[in-house]
Amino acid sequence: MALARSYRGQRIGQRSGPRVSPRLLIGAVIAIIALVTYFSRTQVNPVTGEKQRIAASFEQEVAMGLQAAPQMAQEFGGLHPDAAAQALVDRVGGAIVAALPEEAPPYPYEFHLLADPRTVNAFALPGGQIFITAALYERLETEGQLAGVLGHEVGHVVGRHSAERLAKAQLTQGLVGAVAVGSSDTAAGQQMAANAAAMVGNMVMLKYGREDELQSDQLGLRFMADAGYDPRAMVRVMQILEQASGGSRVPEFSSSHPNPGNRIERINALIEEMYPGGVPEGLKK
């Protein structure tokens, strides 16, 4: 009987091994769903030829841009009252759009000159809403430099960077949630895990931001040159941006925008690649 009891106890002990936490299983399911959703959104960009994960259709991008445009304008002092300056922005922007490759999506581009006299900036919303502040516009010296700025922002739209970043943000959000659910049974532990995962996610997003900027430099040079503007004007734009910073330096690793000084070397290399025999004469500077 003693041997039987001992044997029975051993068998029972073997069957009752460590159990997997239900929270860990739920977290794993959330992570898998986030990853499958992200990779199922793969599309090929018709202009760049690269595979992208996109979280919005063309129509959704346009709707998002149109919805956000009034608020963005308001944040930068509203639209600039100078009709002649706005007309120049429209004309140069229109020339770039007219020269886009046939395979580029037909976004309804609109170019806006903002009244903000202090913030040196230009940016693009998804779907073709493009903005430049008076503070940057008034520092530009030539029409070619304006074409460089607008061409760069059109590059963001054609590159579908906003929709791509939205997909990455949703992936990051899903993975952070999975870590928070599966890492700890306590609220404090979940919060610590979520904070750590969010920090990693933010660094990934910043990395992609820098890549977006560099791709937009490349596309912008191509678009402005196709529209008849000298791509070397973009080098001067970078110098103007560097001067506008007042000599302050933001570490490139912690910024979504590469340092203008670092971009000048790359822009010169791209121009040499575009025109190995030298930039042709007759382009607008």
Among 101-110, 196-205, 241-250, 257-266, top mean pLDDT goes to 101-110
Query: What pLDDT, in 10s, does the model give residues 188-219?
Result: 555 544 554 454 445 444 444 788 889 999 99
Comparing CA positions, the residue from 164, 163, 161, 198 lying closest to residue 183 is: 198
167: closest CA among 40, 45, 27? 40
**Cβ count near 168 (within 10 Å):** 17
Phi, psi of 22 (to 5 degrees): -55, -35
Residue 273 burial (10 A CB sphere; 0-12, 13-18, 19+): exposed
Phi, psi of 114 (to 5 degrees): -95, 155
Q: Which of 75, 71, 68, 70 is nearest to 116 (CA)?
A: 75
Whether the CB-CB separation of 156 and 212 falls below 8 Å is answered with: yes
Q: Write out the two tokens for 248.
A: 């302050």
Cα–Cα distances in Å, from 110 out to 75, 90, 125, 131, 263? 18, 8, 10, 9, 27
Phi and psi torsions of 253, nearest 5°: -65, -30
Query: What mean pLDDT comes out for the span 237-256?
Result: 67
Tokens at residue 222, please? 């191509």
In 35-48, which positions are buried (b, 16+ CB within 10 angstroms) versus exposed (e)? Answer: eeebeebeeebebe
What the block records as the tokens of 39 is 């990779």
> Which helix (H) or strand (E) segment is 43 a member of?
strand 42-44
Angle, helices 83-98 vs 143-158, to 10°: value is: 60
The pLDDT of residue 8: 52
Which of 85-89, 112-116, 122-126, 154-158 has the lowest average pLDDT?
122-126
Note the pLDDT of residue 250.
Answer: 47
pLDDT at residue 44, rounded to an integer: 94
Q: Is the pLDDT of residue 265 over 80?
A: yes
Note the pLDDT of residue 171: 66
233 near 144, Cβ under 8 Å?
yes
The domain ranges of the chain are 43-274
